[in-house]
Amino acid sequence: MLLELNDVSLSLKRDGKYVKILDEISLQVNKGETVGIVGESGCGKSMTALSVMRLLPEKAKLEGVINLDHEDVTSYSKRKMEKIRGNKMAMIFQDPLTSLNPLHTVGRQIEETLILHTDLNKEQRKQRVIELLNEVGLPRAEEIASEYPHQLSGGMRQRIMIAVAMACNPSLLICDEPTTALDVTVQAQILDLMNHLKEVNEMGIIMITHDLGVVAEVCDRVVVMYAGKIVEQANVKELFLNPKHPYTKGLLESIPKLGVKKAKLGSIPGMVPSPDKMPQGCRFFDRCSSAMEICKGKTPPMSSVGEDHTAACWLYEEKGGEMNGSSGSEGLEATLHN
With respect to another protein, which residue has the nearer C-beta, 100 or 138?
100
Q: For residue 201, with 0-12 CB atoms within 10 Å meaning exposed, 13-18 middle and 19 or more buried, which class applies?
A: middle
Q: 315: burial class by Cβ within 10 Å (0-12, 13-18, 19+)?
A: buried
State the nearest-atom distance from the C-beta of 146 to another protein, in Å.
17
CB of 235 to another protein, least distance (A): 28
Q: State yes or no: residue 254 binds another protein (CB under 8 A).
A: no
Min dist. Cβ of residue 44 to another protein (A): 18
Amino acid at 303: S
Q: Which of 22, 68, 129, 161 binds another protein (CB under 8 A)?
A: 161
Pairing outcome for strands 204-208 and 60-68? unpaired
Return the range that interacts with another protein (CB under 8 A); candidates 157-165, 214-222, 244-252, 317-325. 157-165
Indicate which single residue of 60, 62, 65, 116 sits in contact with another protein (rule: CB under 8 A): 116
Q: Write the DSSP symbol of residue 324.
A: H
- Percentage helix, strand, coil for the chain under 3-state DSSP, each rounded to 5: 40, 20, 35
Residues in the interface with another protein (CB under 8 A) total 28
If the CB atoms of residues 197 and 313 are measured against another protein, the closer one turns out to be 197
- Taking CB under 8 A as the binding criterion, the range among 25-33, 99-107, 138-146, 202-210 that sits at the site for another protein is 99-107
End-to-end C-alpha distance for the chain, whole angstroms: 36
Q: Which residues pair with 37 in a beta bridge?
A: 208, 223
- Span interacting with another protein, options 112-120, 188-196, 267-275, 326-334, rule CB under 8 A: 112-120
CB of 141 to another protein, least distance (A): 20
Stretch that binds another protein, among 23-31, 113-121, 123-131, 252-260 (CB under 8 A): 113-121
Residue 40, helix vs strand vs coil: coil
Which position among 2, 91, 208, 312 is part of the footprint of another protein (CB under 8 A)?
Answer: 91
Backbone angles phi, psi at 199, to 5 degrees: -65, -45
CA–CA dist 12, 42 (Å, integer): 14
> Of the ranges 67-75, 84-92, 128-136, 226-234, which one interacts with another protein (CB under 8 A)?
84-92
Confirm if 151 and 162 have CB atoms less than 8 A apart.
no
Q: Which is nearer to another protein, 178 or 243 (CB)?
A: 178
**Following DSSP, what letter does each residue of 181-225 receive, concatenated?**
TS-HHHHHHHHHHHHHHHHHHT-EEEEE-S-HHHHHHH-SEEEEE
Sole window of 63-71, 86-94, 185-193, 224-232 interacting with another protein (rule: CB under 8 A): 86-94
The single residue among 40, 82, 202, 286 that binds another protein, judged by CB under 8 A, is 82
Residues 179-238 contacting another protein, CB under 8 A: none
CA atoms of 126 and 130, how far apart (whole Å): 6
8 Å CB contact between 205 and 223: no
Show contacts with another protein in window 48-67 (CB under 8 A): 53, 55
Least distance from another protein to the Cβ atom of residue 66, Å: 16
- Binding site residues, another protein, CB under 8 A: 53, 55, 79, 81-87, 90-91, 93, 95, 98-103, 112-113, 116-117, 161, 164-165, 167
